[in-house]
Amino acid sequence: MAGGVIVLRPYRVAVYGTLKRHQSNHRVLAGSRLVGECSLNSIVLYDLGPYPGAKLERSQGVLIEVYEVDGPTFARLDALEGYDAASPAMGLYDRKLLDTPLGRAWVYIYNHAVSKGGEIRVGGWPQ
């Protein structure tokens, strides 16, 4: 633990949208190790148009992929997701360390209001 923050290296990141295999931003994870796939019931996905956003809410399960990434890849993910470590509440996404069936992993959580009608109810994204 460094300064009260849990540090996992290599970093484990759980992805649920355009970073998943066969999706438009998966290339950012090039060279990263896929730990596995599982379902996470502590988030709900919302359709934001070209990509989904997760909110911390109970669900029947969102299909995720968990990867081990190095420091430079983790920094690229933060940039892609609009995460600002200096003021996490101001970025497009915040980053939270959540328990998954495959161990603890960082998950990007959408920071803005969502339309309740835009909830993705079954399984994950893309539908």
Catalytic residues: 81
Burial of 112 (0-12, 13-18, 19+ CB in 10 A): exposed
CB 78 within 8 A of CB 85: yes
Give the H/E segment covering residue 119.
strand 119-120
